[in-house]
Chain A
Amino acid sequence: MAAQQKASSASQTPHLSPAELSYLYTSLSLPQNPIRPDGRSPTQFRPLTAEPDILPGTNGSARIGFADGTQAVVGVKAEVEKTVLSADTLDASNLSQQQGDFAAQEGRDGREGAGSAAVAGHGSWVQVSIEIPGFRDDDALPVFLSEMMRESLVGSVAGGNDSSDEMAGGLKGRLVINKRWHWRLYIDSQGEEDPFFDDDWAVAEHLYPRGTTNSTVKLSSSVPQVRPPITLLVISVGENTIFDPSREEIAVADAVLAISVARDGGDKNLKLLSIRTIDPPSRLTQPAVPNSENVNALGATAPTEDVAVLNPATGEEEVPGVWRPRRGGVKRSVIAQMVKTVLKKGGVGEEVLEGLEGVEVE
């Protein structure tokens, strides 16, 4: 049982030796200018191709591919579903609204109940499923990913811009057809070929926007283009903040955050939608043994000056160059720094959004 449930982020980590982990960590945590294995700058994303509307049977679809061969396909399907009033929101006033048809016929009270339960929509109307080869659909990772996607989608564009009535309630508000019917959105994502969780993730998260935009355009064509949210995967290594990490980079991260942002209404500012910590796989790696403690190496090598120093980022005593699994959490200042890099004007979030807006959606 433990075998299947173990499939958290850790089980997808590449099998790197402690020495490799240590080497990666050291190069990524170099102050000021970290050296990434593929030579990118900390905020640089991998080149990416996006192709919308590839599946004729869906209401919106896209394929995204990275230069390294990772790709994912997303389809969005909308179905009409009857709105069932739930007991916890129903009371006399909603009831009278549900009887709106009767009332209208009798000519007594034909007003539409605006801003009430039925109009606000419901988060559960959006259903996200992510399929990653090698995972069962009820494993922790796909569940976690899809919940995260759904959360930021549903929460996106909600509130803030009350100026446009159409946008009230965000995405879920737009799913309302009338009091009795609503759309149910099925979003399916498939990782292919090289399904490392981080890559697939980045792919999927870029993809979602595409898919959703397509579907929303069809749902309510009068709405001015509203950009769906994006989720960025950010890691911190030492004192550095690194974007769009590859899976090797994630394997040594001190902290992994998924930060969802969206455009805040009409203005160009970015709005934070959600932050989630993700269990860094570095917590489950194998530790290395320093020479001073290594029985096999005793006497074989010259006594080295293995002096444990305090790693300022983790607060742990460490021997440089000797890999220790990460322990503990992350400092608040580190989180604040990571969020700031995303949100600030001209920051990474804006850059990514602009890049995505370049993808054509008819």
Chain B
Amino acid sequence: MSILNVFNSPTTFALATCVMADRRRINGPPGGTRPAIYATSLPSIKDADRARRQRQPSELRKIFLKTGLIPSASGSSYLEFEPSASLAAARANPKSLIPPSSALKLACTVHGPKPLPRSVAFSPNIVLTTHVKYAPFAARKRKGHIRDASERDLGVHLETALRGAIIAERWPKSGLDITITIIEAEDDRWWGDAPDSHDASWGMMNVLAGCINAASAAIADAHIDCLDLVSGGVAALVTDNDGGAPQLMLDTDPAEHRSIVSACVVGYMPARDEITALWLKGGTSKAALDEQDGRSGHEALVDGAVDAARGAHMVLGEAVKESMERALGQTT
């Protein structure tokens, strides 16, 4: 049976793509469409116009985080990153239709705790379900309506990050649904760059950090007991000039860097100094660290991500305080 499957897999994949044209949605032209291809009139525009990081290596982007915007949910939050300098400039004075970078925007809802359906086996702990979906217009490339592998992967990462923080045994036989809709995602690299050897879905890591922060605020808004507000942070080793050693930067926007060598995202609980989720990608051996710095590259990277998470934790605290004040105002 297994052997058959090995042979079949390419065909089954082709079949799956055919089935995707489902009748429950309105489909576009059957012949398929293609995204617009821009013939940039001035080839020299490339390097002069490229987005550059204006922040200090350890300076974080501002985060806008608001809870309780979706009243039908037991907890909700909306998170938005401050647009990068280049994006803000492009918005204020639009020249090109191609955006230089993008700023994360996402909405998170928490439904529950609610009783599990009868068909589900007994669970002594709360059963967490995480669901991350990009809006079709969220990224530079149009996303499908059905979750792809990267979106499912994000959901699993998010679940790992949150489950460590939620005190699960306080709600036996209950379920908690966390749904995140990503309205605008981060780029994986600057749009004008060809994918290089270090190319990976770096933008996903920023999205995950945003998801962790938003979900954490929404869970607090739903009054679910947690050990601490778990917060997400990203750090990366980047090379901005050719031949230089990779530098450690916090809260990197991949569109602002020439090449990201490796990046790391953590879910972190400051009160206990513990990491609930860690996702590190890329080689860290060539990091440029101080001579006396005894840490190896990956340790420095994790520490950087933790620092970024600490920064996000302060924003989280504010948002949750606001949520509590609103809750108190309603009851009195």
Asked if chains A and B come from one complex, the reply is: yes
* Chain A residues proximal to chain B, CB less than 8 Å: 1-3, 5-6, 8, 55, 57-58, 61, 73, 75, 77, 79, 85-95, 115-117, 120-123, 127, 129, 131, 138, 140, 143-144, 146-147, 151, 154-155, 158-160, 168-170, 173, 186, 188, 190, 192, 257, 264, 269, 271-279, 283-287, 315, 325, 327-332, 335-336, 339-340
CB distance from B164 to the nearest CB of A (A): 5
Bound complex: CA A188 to CA B5 (Å): 8
Mostly, the B contact residues are mixed
Among B156, B167, B177, which residue has its beta carbon within 8 angstroms of that of A144?
B156
Do A86 and B194 touch across chains, with their CB atoms under 8 A apart? Answer: no
User: B275, A332: Cβ atoms under 8 Å?
Assistant: yes
CA distance A115 to B288 in the complex (A): 25
Can you list the 9 inter-chain pairs with the closest CB atoms, starting with the nearest?
A75-B6, A329-B274, A329-B276, A117-B194, A87-B35, A190-B2, A275-B280, A279-B160, A147-B153
Docked CA distance A36–B298 (Å): 29
Q: What A residues does B191 contact at CB under 8 A?
A: 88-89
In the bound complex, how far is the Cα of B232 from the Cα of A301, in angstroms? Answer: 48
Q: Are A154 and B200 in contact (CB under 8 A)?
A: yes
Once bound together, how far apart are the Cα atoms of A91 and B45, in whole Å? 11
Does B272 lie at the interface of the complex (its beta carbon under 8 Å from any beta carbon of A)?
A: yes
A57 → chain B, closest Cβ, in Å?
A: 5
B283 at the interface (CB under 8 A from A): yes
Rounded to whole Å, the gap between the CB of A267 and the closest CB of chain B is 11
- Do A160 and B38 have beta carbons less than 8 Å apart? no
CB distance from B79 to the nearest CB of A (A): 21
Pairwise interchain contact A147-B124, C-beta atoms closer than 8 A = no
Chain A hits for B9, CB < 8 A: 75, 77, 129, 186, 188
Given the interface contacts A5-B129, A159-B283, A186-B9, does A329 sit within 8 Å of B268 by beta carbon?
Answer: yes
Beyond the given A2-B129, A89-B193, A336-B302, please list 4 additional residue pairs across the A-B interface where CB-CB is below 8 A.
A77-B10, A86-B35, A120-B195, A140-B156
Cβ–Cβ contact A73 & B197, under 8 A = no
Subset of 22 A-B contacts with CB under 8 Å: A8-B156, A75-B7, A86-B35, A92-B43, A120-B196, A120-B197, A121-B195, A131-B5, A140-B152, A143-B149, A147-B150, A173-B197, A188-B9, A272-B285, A273-B282, A277-B160, A278-B160, A279-B156, A283-B168, A328-B269, A328-B276, A332-B306
Kindly state whether residue B328 has any CB partner on chain A within 8 Å: no
- B267, CB-defined interface residue at 8 Å: yes
> Which residues from chain B contact A286 at a C-beta distance below 8 Å?
124
The answer for the CA separation of A283 and B162 in the assembled complex, in Å, is 11
Determine whether the beta carbon of A283 is less than 8 Å from that of B163: yes
Q: Does B290 contact A (CB under 8 A)?
A: no
Partner of B152, one of A73, A94, A138, A284: A138
Q: Does B40 lie at the interface of the complex (its beta carbon under 8 Å from any beta carbon of A)?
A: yes
Q: What's the Cα separation between A147 and B200 when bound, in Å?
A: 12
**A residues near B281, Cβ cutoff 8 Å:** 151, 155, 273-274
Q: 8 Å CB contacts to A: which residues of B23-42?
A: 34-41
Chain B 1-31 residues near chain A, CB threshold 8 A: 2-3, 5-7, 9-10, 13
Given A87-B35, A120-B196, A278-B160, check contact A190 B5 (CB 8 Å). Answer: yes
Check A264 against B10 for contact (C-beta < 8 Å): no
* B165 at interface, CB cutoff 8 A: yes
Partner among A146, A274, A327 whose Cβ is within 8 Å of the Cβ of B164: A327
Interface stretch (choices B53-61, B84-92, B112-120, B311-319): B112-120
Also in contact, A336 and B274, with CB within 8 A (given A186-B9, A278-B160): no
Interface of A is mostly: mixed
Q: Residues of A contacting B43 with CB < 8 Å? A: 91-93
CB-contact partner of A90 in B38, B41, B153, B303, under 8 A: B38
Interface size on B, residues (CB 8 A): 87
Determine how close the nearest CB of chain B comes to the CB of A279; give it in whole angstroms.
Answer: 4
Report whether A116 and B278 are in contact in the complex, using a CB–CB cutoff of 8 Å. no
Residues of B within 8 A of A85 (CB): 37
Task: Decide: A127 and B13 in contact? CB cutoff 8 A.
Answer: yes
Q: How long is the Cα–Cα vector from A86 to B195 in the complex, in angstroms?
A: 11
Q: Which residues of A contact B175 (CB under 8 A)?
A: 2
Asked if B283 and A3 sit within 8 Å, CB to CB, the answer is: no
CA distance A168 to B196 in the complex (A): 9
Among B153, B194, B275, point to the contact of A120 (Cβ < 8 A).
B194
Q: A160-B283, A283-B168 are in contact. Are A329 and B267 (CB under 8 A)?
A: yes
Q: Is the CB of B198 within 8 A of A332?
A: no
Which of B153, B227, B261, B302 has the largest count of A CB atoms less than 10 A from its CB? B153
State whether A87 and B38 are in contact (beta carbons under 8 Å apart), knowing that A278-B160, A284-B168 are contacts in the complex: yes
Nearest chain B residue, comparing its CB with the CB of A11: B121
* Bound Cα distance from A269 to B2, whole angstroms: 37
User: Contacting B201 at CB < 8 Å: which of A3, A123, A168, A274?
Assistant: A123
In the assembled complex, the Cα of A168 lies from the Cα of B197 at a distance in Å of: 7
Which of A257, A269, A273, A315 interacts with B278 by CB under 8 Å?
A: A257
Task: Indicate whether A115 sits within 8 Å of B194 (C-beta atoms), given known contacts A147-B150, A277-B275, A329-B275.
Answer: yes
A-chain residues with CB within 8 Å of residue B303 when the two chains form the complex: 332
Binary CB contact string for chain B from 136 to 161 against chain A (1 if under 8 A, 0 otherwise): 00001100000001101101110110
